[in-house]
Amino acid sequence: MKDSDEGDQMQGGGAPEGACPAGPPSFSTATGTKIGKTLAVMSGKGGVGKSAVATLIAAELHRRGSKVGVLDADITGPSIPRGLGITGRITVGPDGVIPAESSGGLKVMSMNLVLPSEDDAVIWRGPLVSGAVKQFYEECAWGELDYLVIDLPPGTSDVPLTIMQSIPLDGIILVTSPQQLAGVIVAKARKMAASLNAPVLGLVENMSFVTCPSCGEKVTPFAESHGEEIAVAMDIPFLGRLPLDPEISRLADAGKLEEYRSEAVAEVLDNVLGEDTPVRRAPVKERKEK
């Protein structure tokens, strides 16, 4: 399938009508790139903190000793570099485009690093967007990574669908927030993931509660949390709740989100890497010995 043929035919979940009978294209990686596990972070809607969760998970993996890359596949709303304080432009080396690196050591590729100015708007339609993600995946000299975390575009439209069909994913993490737990949205995302046979690792409920700074009581500023119930109803694991924490937005605005540490994030990652999930740590060293 040519890139220009993708996308517009694909609306919502399920197999796209009129798709190439050969199936989705299969993306490969640049010379010298070895990626252990690829995790995609997905949400039914924007604004639920998908990019923040992707960054926090990547940072926590890195803190535990893994080599981690973050592919910002949200081409029209890229926000990963800003949260990590990356402002430089990417360069090109002998094996491809060299991803930027955060001060903590996360490798990052994002549309923001390609655009002349961070504020420039990308108003491309689906096929071009999918093409850009393909290039980020295939033409980046990621080197050896234990994990590549992909921040998927929000929603269940053609772009995340095409990406999920083309990149070998080891697991998908669904992110939602209480006010958007209209179930239907999560269920739609879940259905799309299931239709592609990509394993859904579970659901994270972001902005779930606020801890009162004076008395420590947990209050729920939005609707009551139903994340666990919804995960059970969809028969996927509940990975945990992350608080609505002013420190997260403060650090994100300051470009230091990778410095955020919390037990809640650690617990979510413990669940992602749990005993029987497909994404347990697979250091590059071990894979080479195989």
Shortest Å, Cβ 281 to ligand ADP: 25
The Cα–Cα gap between 64 and 122 comes to 35
The reply to whether 221 sits near ligand ADP by the rule CB under 6 A is no
The reply to whether 206 sits near ligand ADP by the rule CB under 6 A is yes
The Cα–Cα gap between 90 and 88 comes to 7
The Cα–Cα gap between 103 and 272 comes to 25
Number of residues that bind ligand ADP (CB under 6 A): 18
DSSP 121: P
Chain-centroid distance of CA 190 in Å reads 15
| Residue 264 φ/ψ, nearest 5 degrees | -65, -45
Cβ nearer to ligand ADP, comparing 172 with 248: 248
DSSP 247: H
Determine which residue in the list 113, 181, 252, 269 makes contact with ligand ADP, applying CB under 6 A.
252
| Residue 29 φ/ψ, nearest 5 degrees | -115, 165
Determine which residue in the list 33, 51, 66, 162 makes contact with Mg ion, applying CB under 5 A.
51
Both tokens assigned to 155: 């929603």
The Cα–Cα gap between 43 and 31 comes to 31
Q: Which residues, numbered 68-127, are part of the site for ligand ADP (CB under 6 A)?
A: 79
The reply to whether 249 sits near ligand ADP by the rule CB under 6 A is yes
Residue 49 partner contact from Mg ion, ligand ADP, none using kind-dependent CB cut-offs of 5 to 8 Å: ligand ADP
The reply to whether 244 sits near ligand ADP by the rule CB under 6 A is yes
Residue 166 partner contact from Mg ion, ligand ADP, none using kind-dependent CB cut-offs of 5 to 8 Å: none
Instruction: Enumerate the β-bridge partners of residue 42.
Output: 174
Name the residues that contact ligand ADP, by CB under 6 A: 43, 46-52, 79, 154, 206-207, 242, 244-245, 248-249, 252
Name the residues that contact Mg ion, by CB under 5 A: 51, 74, 79
